[in-house]
């Protein structure tokens, strides 16, 4: 019996050692992804697939003389360019003044690329997968599996040579792909892309030139939060909804953001649908309309709406 117990203990130790090595290899790949999008000079194009909808973007990034710049161009939307120089993000609009915010990344890009690894490790386990060929390049799979079953999982494919992300799938609880981020063109160079050099020197508005945020005075309470989420103390202004909002909360777990809006009821039925990985849930009750928007399950959105009092 003692010999049998010793064998079992040895097997357990081997299993835990193997799992620890797999986890370590997974996070090493994650480091490689984050380094690639922050350190390389590149000019790339990607698409975001949400069901039958396809959005196309061009993304340029450069570093020179201690400065960083990146430019995101939505190719399916005219009249808007998004530019980041170091910690300032500029929304350059053709029909109205530029909007300026402070951030070390462009919010419209996948947050996985920029969020500190410690925050991701709090929410996910990382496991290196198999290699495959993608767009003619050798790619390594990295699976990020949520520690909480209510969160979506991520599968990332990295270019073996550079670590640059080639594809990201956001998977539902049933492991169905809700949304896909896919690189269609990638060029990495030693020098900064030429058109970024002129943008580095361009004269742009200061943050103070933006429209200041006016807080929404909340007359309600949000009594339930999903596991790991906290309220953002000063959420960004939403000019389009300011006149109709009764209460507004922005929630974050460090990687994802969920918005909860309270307005006067429009006498519409409660409804829910998904736009890719984003759930939009609208509940009408007690003469109030509660809208929840974010990358959470419909059940989580329902619980949030029910938590408004």
Q: State pLDDT tens for residues 159-199.
A: 999 999 999 999 987 888 999 999 999 999 999 988 899 99
Q: Alpha helix locations (H) across the chain?
A: 2-39, 117-123, 194-201, 298-306
- Range list of H helices, 114-219: 117-123, 194-201
Q: Which residue has the higher pLDDT, 271 or 149?
A: 271
Length of the chain: 309
**Same domain for 296 and 157?**
no
Residues 296, 247 share a domain: yes
| Rounded percentage of the chain residues whose pLDDT exceeds 90 | 66
* Together in a domain, 172 and 134: yes
pLDDT at position 237 is 65
User: Does 74 or 65 have the greater pLDDT score?
Assistant: 74
pLDDT, position 153:
96
Q: Verify that 58 and 139 share a domain, yes or no.
A: yes
Tell me, what's the pLDDT at 6?
Answer: 63
Domain-located, residue 237: yes
Q: What is the pTM of this model?
A: 0.85
Q: Order the strands of the 137-146 sheet from edge to edge.
A: 99-102, 88-93, 80-85, 67-74, 53-64, 41-50, 177-189, 165-171, 153-159, 137-146, 124-134
27 and 167 co-located in one domain: yes
Is residue 116 helix, strand or coil?
coil
Q: Contact 49/179 with Cβ under 8 angstroms?
A: yes
Asked if 143 and 262 sit in the same domain, the reply is: no
Partners of 251 in the beta sheet?
Answer: 231, 258
CATH code, domain with 261 = 3.30.200.100
The share of the chain scoring above pLDDT 70, in percent, equals 87
Q: Would residue 302 count as lying in a domain?
A: yes
> Does residue 280 share a domain with residue 161?
no
How many structural domains is the chain composed of?
Answer: 2
| Structural domain that includes position 121 | 18-209
Q: Is 4 within a domain?
A: no
pLDDT tens-digit series, residues 203-261: 888 886 444 444 555 679 999 999 999 999 877 666 656 667 899 999 999 999 999 99
């Amino acid at each position: 019996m003692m010999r049998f117990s010793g064998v079992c203990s040895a097997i357990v130790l081997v299993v835990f050692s193997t799992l620890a090595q797999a986890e370590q290899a997974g996070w090493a790949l994650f480091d490689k992804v984050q380094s690639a999008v922050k350190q390389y000079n590149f000019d790339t194009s990607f698409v975001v697939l949400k069901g039958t909808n396809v959005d196309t973007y061009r993304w340029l990034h450069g570093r020179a003389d201690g400065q960083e710049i990146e430019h995101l161009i939505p190719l399916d939307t005219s009249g808007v360019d998004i530019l980041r120089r170091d910690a300032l993000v500029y929304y350059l609009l053709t029909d109205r003044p530029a909007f300026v915010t402070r951030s070390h990344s462009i919010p419209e890009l996948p947050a996985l690329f920029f969020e500190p690894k410690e925050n991701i490790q709090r929410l996910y386990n990382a496991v290196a997968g198999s290699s495959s060929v993608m767009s003619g390049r050798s790619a390594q799979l990295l699976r990020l599996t949520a520690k909480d079953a209510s969160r979506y999982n991520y599968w990332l494919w990295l270019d073996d040579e550079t670590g640059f992300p080639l594809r990201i799938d956001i998977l539902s609880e049933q492991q169905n792909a809700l949304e896909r981020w896919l690189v269609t063109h990638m060029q990495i160079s030693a020098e900064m892309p030429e058109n970024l050099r002129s943008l580095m020197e361009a004269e742009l508005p200061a943050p103070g030139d933006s429209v200041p945020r006016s807080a929404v005075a909340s007359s309600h309470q949000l009594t339930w939060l999903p596991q790991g989420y906290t309220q953002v103390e000063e959420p960004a202004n939403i000019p389009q909804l300011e006149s109709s909002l009764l209460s507004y909360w922005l929630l974050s777990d460090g990687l994802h953001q969920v918005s909860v809006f309270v307005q006067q009821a429009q006498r519409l039925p409660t409804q829910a649908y998904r736009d890719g990985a984003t759930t939009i849930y609208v509940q009408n009750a007690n003469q109030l309309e509660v809208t929840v928007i974010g990358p959470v399950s419909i059940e989580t959105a329902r619980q949030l709406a029910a938590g408004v009092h």
